[in-house]
């Protein structure tokens, strides 16, 4: 059993994603949601955060939040998986606890 | 599974309330139960019936209230946080000498112990905030 | 609606926050639309995550929120046509002007030709522009 | 000089309201005038009389109201922002079919035009937010 | 006050925000104090700007706000004595444990000796600690 | 006449100070207030922001906010000036306009 981390802040505006990755144990998962979804985009000044964590942590992104912000799925960093709210529920159930990086 | 939900921000200002609502609906649709939704910090502002959002926008107070009614969910507004922010029911209004109250249908005011209890009883606690 | 005896001030609205995660983008736009009736010299700047407000293709059906991005298209009709986007902010986010809404206005002084409202400028140019303002709104 | 003040956040949750209050007091002490304090976004939550902060803490709603009375300051709560957040006076309550209202003494509800007007008329506009 | 039939869960309160600028630090502390009555296995973590909450010498007279930092001293009396501070966060802010409140508790299992509640640990250790929790509160 | 910029966010948590310095014209001023005062402290991972801006921009910090947070004045970066709320008012009056970096 491992933790599910949720990050809802843009990595350009706040340090939440950076801190989450620093403190997420290998084998845990991160769900990027709300303004956090910008962290899942490739070719940005912050892409290295998620790209660098990939071997150690499974990274998910909330599809409805991508759509709201006009981020098309072909812009996502390779290996990032898109889930809907039902998938979010499943992730919470599958992990031992959820830690929100607010 | 039994889920507990903590909402730390008011409606509209932050997406937290929307995300929590969508999550709660999805959890119910998957057959999970929602032990309680606890509203803390500015989250207490989800529980005022004086809200009148634009007609072409969602009404989050009513959405939460409707969900509570339909699925018999306990929705608790933290009393200490509510006092700081001007949310009260008839009892609270009387206790503090207020000439009215604004708590919406489907919500009740109670203490932080209800949040701790939720953490103990629920299989998972999910926090939505800023 | 301007009863200020001809006072014209330079108003700058600075947008630095992403849409939807918080309400600042939406409620800032509401101020701009009301303010457009006052005949001031209005500019908008989109900096940092504010540039995300102008990204095209927004679809909020899944989050249950109101999609307010079409409203930016109306700015030209309100004579709000000086829209500055910081190049450094676009670059950091892997965006170009082609990712943004194609905001247009009709130029009254040039045979009503349709022109682009968005002007991508550097930090250095934007700093000079900020310095010339009488009032800077940030939300 | 004539100052205009814009407050974008509610009391307690963010320091913005405190900072704006301290600034306003200091400006008055220096002989400046305050043209208007405009409350926008969650700032409208500064204008509810249902607030009951802990007795050992400051009461920001009353502090603002007192300052308005003492120095005859126009304090305006934005109507659109107030509707989204459940702040209303008697007129607004009637218009939207609410069974009560919560606007505090010293505040009035009006439109965003009052903010633009403030920007035009004041020598300086100072913004306090999150 | 625990009527849960002996369920003991690991509760972690994560504090990542500075005091006074926002209310999260104060209202988080209020949850910890109420929660202390429930006989759970409680830990607090101070990470990022959360470490500023514990800085000593706070004086709020000038800002007109309530100084709640003395309340941290009471945590030991409530049997809340596992207080973890991330070393990397202290280092980045030029702080050491000497800049923090000297939080103490009386150890019931060791002749009531007075001990330090604060434990400075690395990111790697804190990550392991987070992973063992049943409930993680963040505000 | 030049702008007064106000920054009320910690430079460790948010990008406001960094963006302000990038977009502040030479000859303008910055007032660090609320959680922004942490940006005025020397010997931190973010001290270089203010230290690097000093030749170009005058940097002020709000004393009451320093006191609230237990930051003693001998920890400030050289050249940063401490003001109280009255000094804040004077700064607003002395500059052509105020820009808040929220």
Digit-by-digit pLDDT tens for chain B (130 residues) are: 999 999 999 999 999 999 999 999 999 999 999 999 999 999 999 999 999 999 999 999 999 999 999 999 999 999 999 999 999 999 999 999 999 999 999 999 999 999 999 999 999 999 999 9
Per-residue pLDDT tens for A68-95? 999 999 999 999 999 999 999 999 999 9
Cβ atoms within 10 Å of F74's Cβ, excluding its own: 6
What is the C-alpha separation between A101 and B72, in angstroms, rounded?
A: 30
Residues contacting residue E22 through CB under 8 Å, at least 6 positions apart: D13, D14, D15, D130, F35
Evaluate whether residue E4 is within a structural domain.
no
Q: What pLDDT score does A19 carry? A: 98
Which of D44, D73, D78, D122 does the annotation list as catalytic? D78
CA atoms within 13 A on the CB side of C67: 19
Q: Phi/psi of residue B77, each to 5°?
A: -100, 125
Q: In angstroms, what CA-CA distances link E77 with A7, E74, E100? A: 34, 5, 18
Q: What pLDDT score does F49 carry? A: 98
Give the range of the structural domain holding residue E60, as residue numbers without chain letter: 10-138
Evaluate whether residue E26 is within a structural domain.
yes
What is the C-alpha separation between D19 and F69, in angstroms, rounded?
A: 15
Helix (H) or strand (E) holding D71, with range, is helix D60-71
Q: What pLDDT score does C5 carry? A: 58
Output the six-digit token pair for F63. 């004393």
Instruction: Answer yes or no: are the C-beta atoms of C39 and C8 closer than 8 Å.
Output: yes
Report the SS3 class of residue D46.
helix
Q: Phi/psi of residue D20, each to 5°?
A: -65, -40
CA atoms within 13 A on the CB side of E25: 27
**Chains adjacent to B (≥3 CB pairs closer than 8 angstroms):** A, C, D, E
Question: Looking at CA atoms only, how far is residue C111 from chain D in angstroms?
Answer: 31
Evaluate whether residue E77 is within a structural domain.
yes
Output the six-digit token pair for C76. 């030209």
The position carrying tokens 């007032």 is: F31
Evaluate whether residue C5 is within a structural domain.
no
Check E20 against D21: CB less than 8 A apart: no
Check A41 against C94: CB less than 8 A apart: yes
What is the C-alpha separation between A51 and A40, in angstroms, rounded?
A: 9
Can you give the length of chain D in residues?
A: 130
Per-residue pLDDT tens for E20-34? 999 999 999 999 999
When CB atoms are compared, the residue of B84, B121, B127 closest to E137 is B127
How large is the angle between the packed helices F85-94 and D16-29, nearest 10 degrees? 80
**Chains adjacent to C (≥3 CB pairs closer than 8 angstroms):** A, B, D, F
Instruction: Answer yes or no: are the C-beta atoms of F100 and D129 closer than 8 Å.
Output: yes
What is the C-alpha separation between C17 and C26, in angstroms, rounded?
A: 10
Distance of CA F77 to the CA centre of its chain: 11
Output the six-digit token pair for D102. 């919560």
Sorted by where each starts, the structural domains of chain D and their CATH numbers stand as 2-128 (3.40.1260.10)
Residue ranges per structural domain of chain F? 3-101
Report, as an integer, the average pLDDT of E52-75.
Answer: 98
Report, as an integer, the average pLDDT of C3-8.
Answer: 66
Instruction: Answer yes or no: are the C-beta atoms of B54 and D54 closer than 8 Å.
Output: no
Q: What pLDDT score does A76 carry? A: 98
Q: Please provide the average confidence, as pLDDT, over all residues in chain D.
A: 98
The position carrying tokens 């006074």 is: E20
**How does B22-54 read in b/e, with b if 16+ C-beta sit within 10 Å?**
bbbbbbbeeebebbbbbbbbbbbbbbbbbbbbe
Per-residue pLDDT tens for C36-59? 999 999 999 999 999 999 999 999
Per-residue pLDDT tens for E105-114? 999 888 899 9
Q: Please provide the average confidence, as pLDDT, over all residues in chain E.
A: 95
Confidence of residue C114 (pLDDT cuts 50, 70, 90): very high
Q: Quick one: which of F38, C36, D52 has its CA closest to B89?
A: D52
Whether the predicted pLDDT of E2 surpasses 50: no
What is the DSSP code string of C46-87? E-GGGGGGGBS----GGGT----GGGGGGGGGGT---EEEEH
Alpha-carbon torsion (B6, B11, B12, B18), positive or negative: positive
Count how many pairs of residues, chain C against chain D, have C-beta atoms within 8 Å: 55
Evaluate whether residue C99 is within a structural domain.
yes
Per-residue pLDDT tens for D73-116? 999 999 999 999 999 999 999 999 999 999 999 999 999 999 99
Q: Phi/psi of residue D116, each to 5°?
A: -60, -45
What is the C-alpha separation between A10 and C18, in angstroms, rounded?
A: 8
Cβ atoms within 10 Å of E111's Cβ, excluding its own: 7
B2 forms beta bridges with B33
Report, as an integer, the average pLDDT of A23-51.
Answer: 98
Closest chain F CA to residue D20: F85
What part of D 19-38 touches F (C-beta under 8 Å)? 19, 22-23, 25-27, 29-30, 32
Closest chain B CA to residue A90: B27
Q: Quick one: which of E58, C57, B43, C116 has its CA closest to F72?
A: E58
Q: In what order do the strands lie in the sheet with E83-86?
A: E118-121, E83-86, E41-46, E10-15, E135-138
Q: Please provide the average confidence, as pLDDT, over all residues in chain C.
A: 95
Determine whether E123 is exposed, middle or buried from the number of CB atoms within 10 Å of its CB (0-12, 13-18, 19+): middle
Q: Phi/psi of residue A30, each to 5°?
A: -125, 135
What is the C-alpha separation between C22 and C17, in angstroms, rounded?
A: 8
Check B21 against C64: CB less than 8 A apart: yes
Confidence of residue C2 (pLDDT cuts 50, 70, 90): very low
What is the C-alpha separation between A40 and C14, in angstroms, rounded?
A: 26
Output the six-digit token pair for C69. 């991005």
Q: What pLDDT score does C109 carry? A: 86
What are the helix (H) ranges across chain E? 24-35, 87-92, 123-131
Check F92 against D3: CB less than 8 A apart: yes
C100 secondary structure, DSSP code? B
Determine whether A96 is exposed, middle or buried from the number of CB atoms within 10 Å of its CB (0-12, 13-18, 19+): middle
In this structure, what CATH number is given to the domain that contains residue C107? 3.40.1260.10
What is the C-alpha separation between F62 and F80, in angstroms, rounded?
A: 10
Cβ atoms within 10 Å of E49's Cβ, excluding its own: 27
Report the SS3 class of residue E49.
helix
When CB atoms are compared, the residue of D27, D32, D125 closest to F98 is D125
Q: In what order do the strands lie in the sheet with C118-121?
A: C118-121, C83-86, C41-46, C10-15, C135-138
Question: Looking at CA atoms only, how far is residue F3 from chain E in angstroms?
Answer: 24
What part of B 67-126 touches A (C-beta under 8 Å)? 124-126
Q: What pLDDT score does C126 carry? A: 98
Whether the predicted pLDDT of C93 surpasses 70: yes
Closest chain F CA to residue E59: F68
Beta strand D75-78 with E41-46: parallel, antiparallel or unpaired? unpaired
Per-residue pLDDT tens for E64-78? 999 999 999 999 999
Report the SS3 class of residue B96.
coil
Domain count, chain C: 1
CATH ID of F3-101, from 3.30.1020.10, 3.40.50.200, 3.40.1260.10, 3.20.20.70: 3.40.1260.10
Q: Against a cut of 0.80, is the pTM above it?
A: yes
Instruction: Answer yes or no: are the C-beta atoms of A62 and A37 closer than 8 Å.
Output: yes
Output the six-digit token pair for F60. 């002020």
When CB atoms are compared, the residue of E24, E34, E138 closest to B113 is E34
Q: What pLDDT score does C7 carry? A: 79
Q: Quick one: which of D101, D84, C21, C32 has its CA closest to B54?
A: D84
Q: In angstroms, what CA-CA distances link B71 with B31, B74, C77, D36? A: 11, 9, 47, 47
Q: Quick one: which of C43, C58, C24 has its CA closest to C119?
A: C43
Q: Does the annotation mark B88 as catalytic?
A: no
What is the C-alpha separation between F71 and E52, in angstroms, rounded?
A: 10
Evaluate whether residue C2 is within a structural domain.
no
Q: What pLDDT score does B64 carry? A: 98
B76 forms beta bridges with B38, B108
What is the C-alpha separation between C123 and C129, in angstroms, rounded?
A: 10
- The ranges of chain F with pLDDT < 70 are 1
Inform me whether the C-beta atom of residue B93 falls under 8 Å from chain D C-beta atoms. Answer: yes
E119 forms beta bridges with E84
Can you give the length of chain A in residues?
A: 102
The position carrying tokens 């102008």 is: C54
| CB-based touch D/F (3+ pairs, under 8 A) | yes
Q: What pLDDT score does E5 carry? A: 58
Q: What pLDDT score does D129 carry? A: 98
What part of B 76-115 touches C (C-beta under 8 Å)? none
What is the DSSP code string of chain A? --EEEEE-S-TTTBSHHHHHHHHPPTT-EEEE-GGGGGGGBTTSTTHHHHHHHTTTSEEEEEHHHHHHTT--GGGBPTTPEEE-HHHHHHHHHHSSEEEEE-
Report the SS3 class of residue E78.
helix
Q: Give the CA angle between residues F67, E51, E19 to the nearest 5°.
A: 45
Report the SS3 class of residue D93.
helix
Confidence of residue C70 (pLDDT cuts 50, 70, 90): very high
Distance of CA C45 to the CA centre of its chain: 6
């Amino acid at each position: 059993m491992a933790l599910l981390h949720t990050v809802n802040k843009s990595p350009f505006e706040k340090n939440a994603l950076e801190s989450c990755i620093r403190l997420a144990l290998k084998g845990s998962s991160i769900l990027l949601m709300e303004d956090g979804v910008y962290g899942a985009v490739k070719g940005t000044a912050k892409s290295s955060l998620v790209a660098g964590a990939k071997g150690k942590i499974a990274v998910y992104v909330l599809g409805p939040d991508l759509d709201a912000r006009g981020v098309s799925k072909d812009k996502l960093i390779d290996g990032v998986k898109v889930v809907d709210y039902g998938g979010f529920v499943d992730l919470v159930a599958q992990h031992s606890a959820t830690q929100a990086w607010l | 599974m039994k889920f507990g939900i903590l909402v730390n921000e008011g409606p509209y200002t932050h997406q937290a309330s929307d995300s929590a609502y969508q999550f709660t609906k999805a959890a119910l649709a998957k057959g999970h139960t929602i032990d309680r939704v606890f509203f803390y910090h500015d989250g207490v502002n989800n529980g005022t019936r004086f809200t009148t959002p634009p007609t072409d926008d969602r009404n989050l107070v009513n959405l939460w209230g409707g969900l509570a009614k339909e699925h018999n969910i306990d929705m608790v507004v933290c009393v200490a946080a509510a006092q700081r922010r001007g949310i009260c029911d008839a009892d609270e209004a009387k206790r503090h000498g207020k000439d009215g109250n604004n708590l919406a249908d489907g919500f009740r005011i109670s203490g932080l112990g209800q949040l701790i209890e939720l953490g103990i009883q629920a299989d998972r606690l999910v926090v939505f905030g800023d | 609606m301007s009863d200020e005896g001809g006072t014209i001030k330079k108003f700058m609205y600075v947008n630095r926050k992403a849409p939807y995660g918080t309400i600042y983008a939406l409620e800032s736009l509401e101020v701009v639309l009301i303010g457009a009736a006052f005949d001031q010299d209005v500019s908008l700047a989109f900096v940092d995550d504010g540039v995300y407000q102008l990204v095209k293709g927004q679809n909020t059906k899944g989050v249950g929120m109101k999609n307010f991005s079409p409203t930016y298209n109306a700015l030209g009709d309100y004579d709000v046509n000086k829209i500055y986007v910081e190049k450094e902010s676009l670059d950091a986010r892997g965006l170009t002007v082609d990712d943004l809404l194609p905001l247009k206005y009709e130029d009254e002084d040039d045979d009503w030709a349709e022109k682009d409202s968005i002007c991508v400028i550097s930090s250095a140019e934007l700093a000079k522009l900020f310095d010339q303002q009488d009032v800077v709104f940030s939300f």
